[in-house]
């Protein structure tokens, strides 16, 4: 079987090397109604508590995107850790780790941390 995957770039290798001795971090994404996902942050805790702490730390940049409606009405997404707003926007764990994201293509970051 032939491997058709592109080799990792020097930048990807540098980023992966930086993470080598650290615990896995999980990607939280925001998906607007048009479906173009963006990176909110990476968090070391893949739990509802970790999710809510990460969102509280990143809430200002989330609001600044204009993706989340001003009234913030919405609901949890079933049994998964995530939130769906009435306008169709979603904030959730993407299912990828930071290492996965580096190797397969990182999302656009919503803004510099406060």
Q: What is the mean pLDDT of each run of 10 residues along the chain (114 residues)?
A: 72 92 94 92 94 92 87 82 92 95 93 60
pTM: 0.86
CB-CB contact of 95 with 107 (8 Å): no
Closest CA to 108 of 34, 53, 30: 30
Helices (H), the chain: 10-19, 48-64, 98-104
In a domain, 86, yes or no: yes
pLDDT at 55: 92
In a domain, 69, yes or no: yes
Q: Look up residue 23 and give its two tokens.
A: 């615990």
> What is the tally of structural domains in the chain?
1
Quickly tell me which residue has 């809510």 as its tokens: 52
In a domain, 109, yes or no: no
Q: Which residues form the domain of 98?
A: 10-24+40-102
CB-CB contact of 11 with 3 (8 Å): no
């Amino acid at each position: 079987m032939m491997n058709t995957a592109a080799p990792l770039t020097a930048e990807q290798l540098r980023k992966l090397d930086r993470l080598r001795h650290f615990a896995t971090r999980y990607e939280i994404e925001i998906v607007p109604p048009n479906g173009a996902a963006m990176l909110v942050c990476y968090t070391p805790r893949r739990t509802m508590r970790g999710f809510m702490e990460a969102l509280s730390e990143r809430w200002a940049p989330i609001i600044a995107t204009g993706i989340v409606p001003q009234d913030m009405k919405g609901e949890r997404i079933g049994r998964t850790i995530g939130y769906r707003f009435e306008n169709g926007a979603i904030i959730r764990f993407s299912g990828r780790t930071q290492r996965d994201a580096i190797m397969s293509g990182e999302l656009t970051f919503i803004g510099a941390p406060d």
